[in-house]
Amino acid sequence: MIDEIFKIFSEINNLKASNPEEFEALRIKYLSKKGIINSLMSEFRTVPPEQKKEVGQQLNKLKSTLQDRLNELKENIAETDVQSKEIDLSRTSYPIPLGTRHPLSLIKEEINSIFKRLGFSIAEGPEIEDDWHVFSSLNFAEDHPARDMQDTFFIQRNPEVVLRTHTSSVQTRVMEKTQPPIRIICPGRVYRNEAISARAHCFFHQIEGLYIDKNISFADLKQALLFFTKELFGKDTQIRLRPSYFPFTEPSAEMDISCHICGGKGCNICKYTGWVEILGCGMVDPAVLDNCGIDSNIYSGYAFGMGIERIAMLKYQINDIRLFFENDVNFLNQFQSAF
């Protein structure tokens, strides 16, 4: 009998069952009332007394080992059954269509890529800011219109805390903690208390740039912006700089590009002037450098800022800014990108 037990031991590891029917057949063969194990239990009565201890131990071990093996086979069959049910054999063989990047993300990444090639790094900061970093450090006078409730969202419980109106606050934070040379771009979302229309929104996105070092001139600014516009809108794009005013730059300018829709001939996009305004720029006011702990007698720098929505509207010929925020799949599916 002991030889028969060892023979069954050698069979256990080779037991296989790929479906419930095969498993049930094995269970009946070994563990049913008329199965092999019960037959061995019946024969145990005929074993000589001096062999009963050894045979009994081996018989109990055999039954336990066999039960463990059958349990293992049952679990494997259950897992296979679950996996097979998860496979939808009626599903089409064509790949599931993937979504596309948001047009604002495409433009932001393209702008970032251009300025990274010029040596700029990306800096980010909080959207909830204090008055110092948004206004005072940037040379905004106490009576400047941008401080008015009509333009800025103030936190009601603390009038010194605001939703940032521009990403220039990131620049001031970097200048406070870093000594020149500084060469950064600051992409991010900003907020202004404006009526929502086809041309304006209460929140939108900006990218601002800052370059501070020794002997930086307006010519450096112009060359960087010319490179940027040709890379973004095409090699035939021209720029022009018009004198303007910003509290944190002096001299200041607004930059236009030749209309890439009509080639400068005049159309409804450029209002038949041949030019389209895309950003503001200028040399950093020495007072701003001093406010942030940078010696304006040694260092100079330039800054610029643009709205991502405005650039996207020009590049993709979109006439309503609200389309960017409505999550219309038909609108978003029009955009493809390598970024």
Place of tokens 């110092």: 132
Q: Is the pTM of this model over 0.75?
A: no
Q: Which domain holds residue 57?
A: 2-86
Position 338 pLDDT exceeds 50 = no
- Considering the domain architecture, whether residues 81 and 137 belong to the same structural domain is answered as no
Average pLDDT of the chain is: 84
pLDDT beyond 70 at 206: yes
Which of 86, 113, 142 is at the close of a domain? 86
- Number of C-alpha atoms within 13 angstroms, CB side, residue 325? 15
Higher pLDDT, 251 or 66: 251
Region 232-250 average pLDDT: 91
Residues 249 and 117 in one domain: yes
CATH of the domain at 166: 3.30.930.10
**What is the side-by-side strand order in the sheet with 154-155?**
128-130, 158-163, 154-155
Q: What is the spatial distance between Cα 110 and Cα 199, in angstroms, rounded to a whole number? A: 23
Query: pLDDT digits over 134-159, tens only?
Result: 898 998 888 777 776 558 888 877 77
For residue 93, being part of any structural domain is answered with: no
- pLDDT for the residue numbered 334: 82
Same domain? 129 vs 6? no
| Statement to judge: residues 116 and 43 lie in one domain | no
pLDDT in tens, 56-97: 777 788 778 878 877 887 777 776 665 555 666 676 666 666
Q: Is residue 164 part of a domain?
A: yes
**Residue 137 dihedral angles phi and psi, to the nearest 5°:** -65, -20
Residues 6+ apart with CB under 8 A from 20: 77
Q: How many CB atoms lie within 10 A of CB 31?
A: 15
Query: Of the ranges 135-144, 177-186, 213-222, which one carries the lowest mean pLDDT score?
Result: 135-144
State how far Cα 239 lies from the chain centre: 32
pLDDT at res. 47: 75
